[in-house]
Amino acid sequence: MISSSSTLSFSWLAEGRAFEAVFQTFGSGPQVLFLPAISTVSTRLEWQAVAAELAGQFTVTLVDWPGFGASSRPLATYSPALFEAFLRDFARARFGKPVAVAAAGHAAGYVLRTAGGGEALWSRAVLVAPTWRGPLPTAMGLHPKLYALLHRLVRTPGLGHALYWVSTSRWFLRRMYGRHVFANQNGIDSRLVKEKQRLARQRGARFAAAAFVTGALDPFSERSSCVDAVQRTPFPVLLIVGRDTPPKSGAEMAALTRTGSPRSLVLPGSLGLHEEQARDIVAPLCQFLAQPPVQPLMAS
């Protein structure tokens, strides 16, 4: 277990709002940044088992996204532009040179969004269960205006709070974990569900969470853009996907692996395989990260 006493804070100002992003750094050796999946229950501690194993060979940094985990959660316009800007600013401030990154879910999409632009942030990337489309657009396929309406409703006082409270009940969280996140139902015990609900129900949590669920934090607007970003990465990429991933999300990940550009690996697990199947990820991740460094190329 990672000691909470080692937490630090990255102060960041964007859109007239002050954010405090919580992160931890420990270990020794080459630097690796771990980005948690963006979700209602997002937390840097999803990576703690993997990071603890790597700390003997690497200096690892785990960070909570603005609006999630232990970071501050102000009422702000949570958008792809804001998250991309945060990732660029945090990487510049913390590392100052290209660094290896491991990212899960939507975080993988943001690594791809920041792969070019004339600035080399990443030396190599491990993308675990990479996604680009939020839960409701993936599951329902309705008109985007309906998701935007729901997003606004959840942000409103009173009704929005009530809607969010229902969607973060323990029954609902257990159901979602069982259907989409963990492959092994035995791992979804009362302790896990209680902790996930605590994360989801922190003051101000619904603002960023509603943006994610309704697709307002999607790093890309269509599959082809995500596929193109994978093919154009100017650094080595390892894709890790779960063989038990839900069909719709699995189809999107399969499209990325079919590009033939990055190396891909299929392991047991679903969307949360970096948390549930940490032991399976450690060995291939270490092997990939320990390869001789390459000079990142400028994206064309």
Dist. CA 270–CA 177, nearest whole Å = 10
Tokens of 280: 């399976």
Backbone phi and psi for residue 85, each to the nearest 5 degrees, phi listed first:
-65, -40
Instruction: For 164-188, write each residue's pLDDT tens digit.
Output: 888 899 999 999 999 999 999 889 9
9-13, 22-26, 138-142, 216-220: which has the minimum mean pLDDT?
138-142
Parallel, antiparallel or unpaired: strands 59-63 and 99-104? unpaired
Contact call for residues 241 and 257 (beta carbons, < 8 A): yes
Tokens 């902790």 locate to 195
Indicate the fold that domain 4-133+219-289 takes in CATH: Rossmann fold (3.40.50)
Find all residues with CB under 8 Å of 211, minimum gap 6, and list them: 67, 78, 79, 151, 217
The residues spanned by each domain of the chain are: 4-133+219-289
Tokens 């290896």 locate to 100
What pLDDT score was predicted for residue 4?
A: 42
What pLDDT score was predicted for residue 142?
A: 59
Q: What is the pLDDT averaged over residues 70-74?
A: 95
How far are the Cα atoms of 22, 56, 95, 96, 274 from residue 28, in angstroms, in the given order? 20, 6, 14, 17, 22
Query: Does 2 score more than 60 pLDDT?
Result: no
What pLDDT score was predicted for residue 94?
A: 96
For the chain, the average pLDDT equals 90
How far are the Cα atoms of 109, 151, 224, 252, 254 from residue 138, in angstroms, in the given order? 15, 15, 15, 10, 15
Find all residues with CB under 8 Å of 62, minimum gap 6, and list them: 2, 23, 24, 34, 36, 44, 45, 47, 48, 51
89-98, 121-130, 148-157, 213-222: which has the minimum mean pLDDT?
148-157
**Exposed (0-12), middle (13-18) or buried (19+): which is 282, by Cβ within 10 Å?**
middle
Q: What is the pLDDT averaged over residues 48-77?
A: 96
Q: Could you tell me what percent of the chain has a pLDDT over 90? A: 75
Tokens of 288: 């990939």
